[in-house]
Amino acid sequence: MTLDELKGLVRDVPDFPKKGILFKDITTMLKNKDGLHLTAKLLSERYADKGITKVVGIESRGFIMGPIVAEKIGAGFVPMRKPGKLPADTVSESFTKEYGVDTIEVHVDAINEDDVVLLHDDLLATGGTMYAAYLLAKRFNPKKIYVSFIAELDFLKGRELFPADVEIDSLIRY
């Protein structure tokens, strides 16, 4: 399977989650065994030699590939979730999304100064969610933060929110 074939497995869903938005649905790619395998392989290869100690998956689709990549590169996995979903003490960051304001949280002991962190989610659109995740992770003063997506909507310019020194990578670009 090629990267173009992988891209072809992503389904467009018009007017989701609200009218006027064309949603890129990766579930059709993940249900295909070859699509899932190639996605895991490509993401893992990109980060295998970066010294990553924690893969942080952003709720909710970052929870799908995040643990797979963490296991393949020998790192731990940390969930970054919506408020009230994590059982211990948390720290949070609020942000504006394409269709409203939201907040994400992570446990206060999830990341430390010795960590090299990979923040992972399925899609980079306007960037609000991942930028909030980046700011939240940065509070822990890790050695380095990488940012990873399965897909990116270039026309929304989400990567422009991040400082120039942040390495951002997407497997598929639209």
Burial class (CB in 10 A: 0-12, 13-18, 19+), 89: exposed
Known catalytic residue at 98: yes
Known catalytic residue at 46: no
**Cα distance between residue 78 and residue 63, in whole Å:** 9
Alpha helices in the chain (DSSP H): 3-8, 27-30, 33-47, 62-73, 128-138
- The catalytically annotated residue of 61, 81, 152, 159 is 61
* Pairing mode of beta strands 11-14, 90-97: unpaired
**Cα distance between residue 15 and residue 21, in whole Å:** 5
- The catalytically annotated residue of 46, 59, 71, 98 is 98
Q: Known catalytic residues?
A: 61, 98
